[in-house]
């Protein structure tokens, strides 16, 4: 049955809550106290408003028909503000927790003034009171610049340089300089121009690049320390150096000529390193051969001198015998090398001589004599002549003094 159907004993308006606000019957639910339908949205909202009003100390929910106020409104006056304050404090305290990474350090500023540097881990600082700046202290940062500048000899050169750096002091990095990266860029430009302005162009383009990089690094680090940027340089690399485009070809020719010169020098050094040890070895071999020859000649001369001294001793003891012996030895040595046979035809009859046997015998005797008397064959010819002359003089003197001996050596 509809709510406004005639004859209905329980007529009420579901939107206006009719029959629920305390009618003439004065029940708990108004005139229609036996309504068993679901509660509507309007009623639920009114109940919620009544609860809020009771917490704020206002009027409570009215009973049906009596119009009496519900008690206990005054003691809940500060309950809601207190609850809101507690909730706000909890939210404020919870928002103060933060996590610091292992590669970071936190710079804490309390009302803009430096307080401390926090280490990695879970940290807490009061929000709106402390301001925490996170700084990465392990990451290697880089900066690259390309500048065109004048050298000491008034030439123009283009230099590309790169710098790698880290944050060494988080406090100085945050507080001392407004923008440390911009300060580093300006300081790098200044240091590079100062060093290049005191260096000749040929050194910058060729062998002086390493010296240029080290000079710029030391000067730039001094600038950063004086500014208090909290930055620490790791490396400075001179990426490239080039002359102006108008003279690039000429400089390329100069560089190629220098490279050719260095390559030729290297080739010459390699050749020298290959030839000098060989020449030194040959020189050492010749020296050793000379020393060996000297020792052999000295030893041979000493042996001949000793032999001569021995002969001299025997000659002093028996001069005639030694003269005869020396004469015979000399003649046998001289005549033993010829294949001719001398025969005294007046004193001896005709005889048959086997010339072929004599030749073979002379050859064998010559070989044996060469093998046995090597020292005698190497005897100095002048010394032999001297000895022969002395023996002849002695023989002449002895023959003149001893005419009775009747010994005459003719043809010998």
- Residue 55 buriedness (CB in 10 A; 0-12 / 13-18 / 19+): middle
Q: Which of 72, 119, 67 is nearest to 98 (CA)?
A: 119
- Is the predicted pLDDT of residue 311 greater than 50, yes or no? yes
The residue-averaged pLDDT of 140-169 equals 89
How many Cα neighbours within 13 Å face the side chain of 281? 6
Of all residues in the chain, the percent with pLDDT exceeding 90 is: 19
- Report helix, strand and coil shares of the chain as percent, to nearest 5: 55, 15, 30
Residue 158 to residues 110, 149, 204, 263, Cα–Cα distance (Å): 47, 7, 10, 27
How far is it, in rounded angstroms, from Cα 294 to Cα 37?
145
Structure tokens at 331: 């003649």
Asked which of 85-99, 174-188, 219-233, 272-286 is least confident by mean pLDDT, the reply is 85-99
Angle between helices 248-317 and 319-335 (to 10 degrees): 130
Distance CA 263, CA 270 (A): 11
φ and ψ at residue 10, rounded to 5 degrees: -125, 55
Phi, psi of 160 (to 5 degrees): -110, 120
Identify the pLDDT of residue 352. 53
Other C-beta atoms within 10 Å of 177: how many?
18
| Angle CA 391–392–395, to nearest 5 | 85
Residues whose CB falls within 8 Å of the CB of residue 297, separated by 6 or more in sequence, listed in order: none
pLDDT digit string (tens) for 43-64? 877 777 777 666 655 544 444 4
Task: Determine the pLDDT at residue 19.
Answer: 44
Contact criterion met (CB below 8 Å) for 134 and 104 = yes
Predicted confidence (pLDDT) at residue 201 exceeds the cutoff of 70: yes
Residue 99 to residue 221: CA distance in whole angstroms: 32
Non-local CB neighbours of 339 within 8 Å, separated by 6+ positions: 355, 358, 359, 362
Spatial separation of the C-alpha atoms in residues 368 and 361, rounded to whole Å: 10
State phi, psi for 336 to the nearest 5 degrees.
-70, -10
In this prediction, residues 80-92 reach a mean pLDDT of: 80
The answer to whether the beta carbons of residues 17 and 42 sit under 8 Å apart is yes
What 3-state class would DSSP assign to 6? coil
pLDDT at 249: 81
Whether 393 has a pLDDT exceeding 70, the answer reads no
Q: How far is the C-alpha of 375 from the C-alpha of 355, rounded, in Å?
A: 30
Contacts 24+ apart (CB under 8 A), 216-221: 216/161, 216/188, 216/191, 216/192, 219/191, 219/194, 219/195, 220/163, 220/187, 220/188, 220/191
- The b-or-e profile of 22-39 (16+ CB within 10 A means b, else e) is bbeeebeebbbeeeeeee
| Alpha carbon distance 328, 320 (integer Å) | 12
Averaged pLDDT, 303-310: 88
Highest mean pLDDT, choosing among 56-65, 156-165, 344-353: 156-165
Tens digits of per-residue pLDDT, 394-412?
555 544 444 333 333 333 3
pLDDT at 266: 94
Q: For 101-137, write each residue's pLDDT tens digit.
A: 888 888 888 888 888 888 888 888 888 888 888 888 8
Bigger pLDDT: 111 vs 246: 111
Neighbours of 152 (CB within 10 A): 13
Please check the confidence at residue 378 and state whether its pLDDT lies above 80: no
The span from the first CA to the last CA of the chain, in angstroms, equals: 188
**Residue 7 region, left (φ>0) first, then alpha (ψ -120 to 50), else beta?**
left
Q: What is the mean pLDDT of the chain?
A: 74
Task: Please check whether residue 146 is in contact with residue 158, taking contact to mean a CB–CB distance below 8 angstroms.
Answer: yes
pTM recorded for the entire structure: 0.44
- Evaluate whether 97 touches 124 at the Cβ level (below 8 Å): yes
As a whole number of angstroms, the distance between CA 209 and CA 159 comes to 10
């Amino acid at each position: 049955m509809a709510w406004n159907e005639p004859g209905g004993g329980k007529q009420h308006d579901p939107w206006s809550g009719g029959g629920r606000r305390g009618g003439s019957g004065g029940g708990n639910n108004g005139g229609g106290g036996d309504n068993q339908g679901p509660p509507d949205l309007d009623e639920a909202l009114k109940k919620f408003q009544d609860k809020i009003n009771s917490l704020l100390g206002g009027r409570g929910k009215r009973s049906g028909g009596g119009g009496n106020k519900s008690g206990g409104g005054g003691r809940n006056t500060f309950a809601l503000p207190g609850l809101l304050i507690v909730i706000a404090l909890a939210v404020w305290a919870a928002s103060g927790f933060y996590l610091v990474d292992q590669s970071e350090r936190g710079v804490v500023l309390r009302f803009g003034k430096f307080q401390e540097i926090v280490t990695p881990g879970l940290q807490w600082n009061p929000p709106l009171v402390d301001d925490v700046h996170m700084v990465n202290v392990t990451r290697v940062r880089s900066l690259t610049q390309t500048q065109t500048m004048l050298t000491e000899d008034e030439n123009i050169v283009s230099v590309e340089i790169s710098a790698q750096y880290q944050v060494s002091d988080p406090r100085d990095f945050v507080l001392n300089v407004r923008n440390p990266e911009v300060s580093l860029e300006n300081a790098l430009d200044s240091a590079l121009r100062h060093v290049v302005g005191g260096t000749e162009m040929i050194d910058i383009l060729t062998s002086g690049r390493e010296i240029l990089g080290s000079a710029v690094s030391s000067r730039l680090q001094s600038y950063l320390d004086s500014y208090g940027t909290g930055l620490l340089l790791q490396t400075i690399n001179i990426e490239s150096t080039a002359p102006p485009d108008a003279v690039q070809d000429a400089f390329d020719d100069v560089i190629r000529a220098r490279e050719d010169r260095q390559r030729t020098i290297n080739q010459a050094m390699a050749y020298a390193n290959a030839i000098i040890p060989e020449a030194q070895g040959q020189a050492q071999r010749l020296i050793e051969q000379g020393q060996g020859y000297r020792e052999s000649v000295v030893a041979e001369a000493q042996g001949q001198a000793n032999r001569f001294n021995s002969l001299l001793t025997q000659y002093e003891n028996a001069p005639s015998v030694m003269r005869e012996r020396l004469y015979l030895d000399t003649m046998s040595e001289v005549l033993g090398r010829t294949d001719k046979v001398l025969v005294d035809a007046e004193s001896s009859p005709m005889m048959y001589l086997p010339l072929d046997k004599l030749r073979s015998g002379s050859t064998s005797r010559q070989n044996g004599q060469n093998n046995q008397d090597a020292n005698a064959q190497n005897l100095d010819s002048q010394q032999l002549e001297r000895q022969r002359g002395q023996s002849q003089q002695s023989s002449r003197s002895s023959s003149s003094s001893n005419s009775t001996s009747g010994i005459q050596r003719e043809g010998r």
